[in-house]
A and B are shown apart, each in its own frame.
Chain A
């Protein structure tokens, strides 16, 4: 303190400036990167969504107010893609919760080899999307794929999972559940291990049933984390692109084309740059609504508990 005061009083003008603004100066590089890499592109693309503009044409952008938003929202294809996305999000998140929860219950107990098994279970979420996508593409491949070979050993016929709409959706959801259930498990496990053991002992003395113990002791401890898992996984599943693109390319036909894949197609294949920007902002709006819904539920519960 004494040293700082001495420098502040006796240092050069520059030294005093650095001393007084040390905090802002330390975070300024990070803020600059954030602005250049995130905020500026966001503002730029938001502005672009009000113009008629295609990146592959020389034509000057033309200001069209909300026409892009109107066009996107009245396009039946967009609603079809939202429908596909809703199916994926609902089933995907639900399965991740169930599998993640069951895994957490398993790893809550101590047993021989728990650490090694836990590490193995956590591996999928550490892999890159490309690796997972490529792996599952081969896994489902009907000529060489493991899945087809296994089914063929029983039925005598190759199994073409990705040949139908339902099968392709199931394939994508399975891959995503495989990859992200460990994430849900980690959150739930954190809640489970935080439950004081004496509560369970008291419940045992009271001869409370398994369900009663779970509902009145365990669940309150994991509820918040479970909601957090739902929020994170819903947002991520809503933006699901990599795995879909790598496994099915949105096919067969367009049956597994999620809204994120469609945004990519509109932007980089149809080159409707400003329309894709508008669609991107609609997507962002949906995610913000979902986040606020989550926060609303969390706050309401907090108020109820108080």
Chain B
């Protein structure tokens, strides 16, 4: 009896000690936190998911999992917007095109991150290291102010993909020289100095029919010289046309100039019309699908990988598929260079529309999730992770990363990325951007498919923009 009582007392003491240690000390229990992220379905986000699964450990000790909802690009905006506006609060983070910042910030969905940057020297260092054009495009709203919302997930620029086997083929080079009186560029360095006048020659020169000879082989199908985006969907012509307009010295409606900045007379200025006509003139050397208004970035990618085109302009994000043996017929014949510019008085004028995306935090997260999401962003933008991302085909916006010699070795297009960042601009960030974009794409498409002239298209766009932007008080 006595023994029993002693045993009970010992058990009780043991139990109390266990409860006590759980309450006031002992090892902390990690919490499982899932960060649901909306992202477009393409290699840069797939790589991020793989890397996060393989190596992300939250500094807090919590078990943080990144779960990406991969959404096909053409539907991405609609699907994300539907989720955000429905109030379902499904995503804690989202990869967002920079143009959507205004709409989703004004809608109350994207979280401002200034206070977190101010409180965190690590984040401050990241922002100082990023190329200023990336910060302006991916993080700021209103555009080019000091209100920050996003971190770069995958910075991207338009570059040239070309068939090195053809451009460096002795017979083709000799024939080109004979016909045009100058050398066909072969190396990436030579291609970096190409201007649009030469591109028209490439388009004409490499257009071959079935039975013709190309690079010493007889073709069993038609072959085309050049291709760039000219599709009706999303922004699949605006991103290229804007570059032409800026290079020619024209402008799109400039949100940083509101309310004085005008659309009428600017969007449809003579220079802008000339630039758009220049863009249209090159489409005659492209595969016939361009005449249907469905030659978007995916079609350009497909045409190139199928070996139907000698030279294209494409986002770097598609580079991995172009060099993958299982996906590309030309995987071992491709090389890369900077996008051409306009030759003016012997100098090449360069401007282009920036691509790529930031990721953002949504506004309905708890403090714990915000902290974990910010820690994830810091991990993503840390030097070793950015190097690994680049080595697997992504791009880094950190100057300390993309300027290193090893970065140039990761992928054959990396040499073109850094220098291109200096001449990137972005399209509108205002909440009305999608209405502007949809109408503009429709008008561009009418011109691309030969239904109206370049001037008619730009006049229609200018009138629409003037009306809409006056209506919302952005033009006075």
Provide the bound-state CA to CA distance between A146 and B17, in Å.
78
Residue with the greatest number of chain A CB neighbours at <10 A, chosen from B103, B308, B438: B438
Kindly list 17 other residue pairs between chains A and B, CB separation below 8 angstroms, not including A163-B449, A252-B445, A253-B446. Answer: A56-B81, A56-B431, A57-B106, A58-B108, A142-B291, A144-B306, A148-B288, A162-B292, A249-B294, A251-B232, A251-B292, A252-B293, A252-B449, A253-B452, A255-B451, A268-B82, A269-B434
13 contacts between A and B (CB under 8 A): A55-B81, A56-B85, A56-B431, A142-B288, A158-B288, A162-B292, A163-B292, A248-B294, A251-B292, A251-B293, A252-B291, A253-B442, A268-B78
A248 neighbours in B (Cβ, 8 Å): 292-294
Kindly supply a per-residue 1/0 record for chain B positions 288-303, scoring 1 wherever the CB is within 8 Å of any chain A CB and 0 otherwise: 1101111000000001
* A-B pairs with beta carbons under 8 A, tally: 93
Tally chain B residues at the interface, Cβ within 8 Å: 33
B222 neighbours in A (Cβ, 8 Å): 143, 158
B306 neighbours in A (Cβ, 8 Å): 144
Q: Which of A55, A57, A253, A269 contacts B293 (CB 8 A)?
A: A253
Provide the bound-state CA to CA distance between A251 and B294, in Å.
8
B288/A253 in contact, CB under 8 A: no
Chain B residue nearest in CB terms to A162: B292
Provide the bound-state CA to CA distance between A143 and B293, in Å.
14
A143/B292 in contact, CB under 8 A: no
**Known contacts A143-B303, A252-B451, A269-B438: does B294 contact A162 (CB below 8 Å)?**
yes
Q: Which of A58, A141, A163 contacts B106 (CB 8 A)?
A: A58
Kindly supply a per-residue 1/0 record for chain B positions 219-259, scoring 1 wherever the CB is within 8 Å of any chain A CB and 0 otherwise: 00010000000001100000000000000000000000000
Q: Does B155 contact A (CB under 8 A)?
A: no
Residue with the greatest number of chain B CB neighbours at <10 A, chosen from A56, A165, A254: A56
A168 neighbours in B (Cβ, 8 Å): 292
B85/A55 in contact, CB under 8 A: yes
B291/A163 in contact, CB under 8 A: yes
B288/A270 in contact, CB under 8 A: no
B449/A270 in contact, CB under 8 A: no
Provide the bound-state CA to CA distance between A255 and B452, in Å.
12
B152 to chain A, nearest CB (A): 24
B435 neighbours in A (Cβ, 8 Å): 269-271
B450 neighbours in A (Cβ, 8 Å): 163
A57/B107 in contact, CB under 8 A: yes
Q: Does A265 contact B (CB under 8 A)?
A: yes
Q: Which of A57, A58, A160, A254 contacts B288 (CB 8 A)?
A: A160
A203 to chain B, nearest CB (A): 52
**Known contacts A142-B289, A143-B303, A160-B288: does B232 contact A250 (CB below 8 Å)?**
yes
A265 neighbours in B (Cβ, 8 Å): 438
Provide the bound-state CA to CA distance between A181 and B122, in Å.
65
B317 neighbours in A (Cβ, 8 Å): none
B78 neighbours in A (Cβ, 8 Å): 268-269
The 7 closest A-B pairs by CB, nearest first: A252-B449, A253-B446, A163-B291, A162-B292, A142-B288, A251-B293, A55-B85
Q: Does B287 contact A (CB under 8 A)?
A: yes
B368 to chain A, nearest CB (A): 27
B81/A251 in contact, CB under 8 A: no
Q: Which of A120-159 contact B (CB under 8 A)?
A: 137, 141-144, 148, 158
B81/A268 in contact, CB under 8 A: yes
B232/A249 in contact, CB under 8 A: yes
A162 neighbours in B (Cβ, 8 Å): 292-294
B232/A143 in contact, CB under 8 A: no
Provide the bound-state CA to CA distance between A110 and B445, in Å.
51
**Known contacts A252-B445, A253-B442: does B232 contact A58 (CB below 8 Å)?**
no
Provide the bound-state CA to CA distance between A137 and B292, in Å.
11
Chain A residue nearest in CB terms to B443: A253
B43 to chain A, nearest CB (A): 22
**Known contacts A55-B85, A56-B85, A253-B449: does B292 contact A160 (CB below 8 Å)?**
yes
Residue with the greatest number of chain B CB neighbours at <10 A, chosen from A58, A141, A251, A265: A251
Provide the bound-state CA to CA distance between A253 and B82, in Å.
25
Provide the bound-state CA to CA distance between A263 and B232, in Å.
17
Provide the bound-state CA to CA distance between A212 and B362, in Å.
72
Provide the bound-state CA to CA distance between A165 and B292, in Å.
10
Chain A residue nearest in CB terms to B447: A253
A57/B431 in contact, CB under 8 A: yes
Provide the bound-state CA to CA distance between A88 and B460, in Å.
27
Provide the bound-state CA to CA distance between A111 and B445, in Å.
50
Chain B residue nearest in CB terms to A270: B435
Provide the bound-state CA to CA distance between A158 and B292, in Å.
13
B232 neighbours in A (Cβ, 8 Å): 249-253
B294 neighbours in A (Cβ, 8 Å): 137, 162, 248-249, 251
Q: Which of A226-268 contact B (CB under 8 A)?
A: 248-255, 265, 268
Q: Which of B256-283 contact A (CB under 8 A)?
A: none
Q: Which of A57, A144, A252, A270 contacts B292 (CB 8 A)?
A: A252
A141 neighbours in B (Cβ, 8 Å): 289
